[in-house]
Amino acid sequence: MYTPEPKTQARLDDLARDLEYRAAHFAGYPCNQNFDYSALTPFLQLVLNNVGDPFRGSNFSSNTHEIEREVITQFARLLRLPEEDAWGYVTNGGTEGNMYGLFLARELFPEGVVYFSEDTHYSVVKIMRVLKARSIMIKSQPSGEIDYEDLYETIRINRDAPVIFMANIGTTMKGAVDDIGKVRDILKQLAITESYIHGDAALSGMILPFVDEPQPYAFDQGFDSLSISGHKLIGSPLPCGVVLTRSAYVARISRSIEYVGVMDTTLTGSRNAITPLMIWLAFQRYGIEGFRGLVADMLDTARYAVDRFNALDIPAWRNKNSVTVVFPKPSPQIIAKWQLASYEDIAHIITMPHVTREMIDKIAAECVQDERARQPQEAR
């Protein structure tokens, strides 16, 4: 067993103390800190690699493909995709999942135009550059949901090209969900016969399956591929996610790699073999009803946050089925202390399981004090 030298250990101890403090003031980003993967410690002593397609064999057999397939099957059930038609893999996060879905769409429709709203995650603009795909940004409504009138007119002008639509299932800053029922109606009205819809469901993909009146989020409602993060609602010390699509689409990009004996169907070659274990273990821990309870508690906390802020005359709001609580941007000091995400004149709290009502009370009180301090002396 390796024992670090005192200087090295001191450096690690200092870093751990700093990060533990920051973890206690972590309210603005959608990462669940309430997890326990200590049962997986023995696997950290092994060389594991999920290279290649998890549904095919590999010469590199030190992998967790079997567990990964179970994870994909679980998500196929949640997202209402028939298991015999389902294909997917565990990614290193939402950006890779979005890139994979849009890559498939580009391969199916090389002349297609990608449409996405101005509230779409920043990574999509980068993905468009990497794929060299033609794209058009559409205006958003104040809620963060896409502007359907602008979408209609823009598609109408470019109706000679296949439509690739990038749907937000919970926008980054406001938690808004694009209604693909309305998008599909637009495609029907304009007689668009070639289309592909990918959904970025990084956070809300693990919320909407567990609420009574969800917005459209599933394959049976018209999606062709979906990306969900694992380090967000599920919780993980390592960034990860899942991308899910139909196996028939994947056949278009598949090729055989002889020296490792795999089918190359993923974006990366070597892939993390620990994160599938983490997602799998979380489902073993919570089960469907456990996640349902977790989501209900998060939504209750979000309602409390809106009420608490408003009671203190801080205008706060959230979208339907969203745990993202939006309010006016506070001082840089408050943003830094509580690791709040901010954009232009707004900021948000995301009521992940570790975000308590006590934390919300403290943030709200500090925002009130901050506002008073910023007022001119004669106005007090």
- Return the active site residues: 322
Q: Cβ–Cβ contacts within 10 Å for residue 23, how many?
A: 12
Which of 230, 175, 165 is closest to 199 using CA atoms? 165
Name the DSSP letter for residue 234.
Answer: I
Q: Strand (E) positions, the chain?
A: 86-91, 113-117, 134-138, 163-168, 195-200, 225-229, 241-246, 255-257, 262-264, 324-328, 341-343, 346-350
Q: Report d(CA 266, CA 89) in Å as an integer.
A: 8
* Structure tokens that stand for 346 in this block: 């707004």
Q: How many helices (H) and strands (E) does the chain have?
A: 10, 12
What's the half-sphere exposure (Cβ side, CA atoms, 13 Å) at 236?
26
Which of 190, 188, 167 is closest to 179 using CA atoms? 167
Sheet strands side by side (includes 341-343): 324-328, 346-350, 341-343
Q: Cβ–Cβ contacts within 10 Å for residue 232, how many?
A: 26
Burial class (CB in 10 A: 0-12, 13-18, 19+), 247: middle
Instruction: Encode burial over 54-86: b for 16+ CB neighbours within 10 A, e otherwise.
Output: bbeebebeebbbebbbbbbeebbebbebeeeeb
* Structure tokens that stand for 102 in this block: 């849009």
For tokens 């599933």, the residue is 218
For tokens 């709040």, the residue is 340
Q: Report d(CA 130, CA 127) in Å as an integer.
A: 5
CA distances from 202 to 24, 172, 283, 328 (A): 23, 9, 17, 24
3-state secondary structure (DSSP) of residue 225: strand
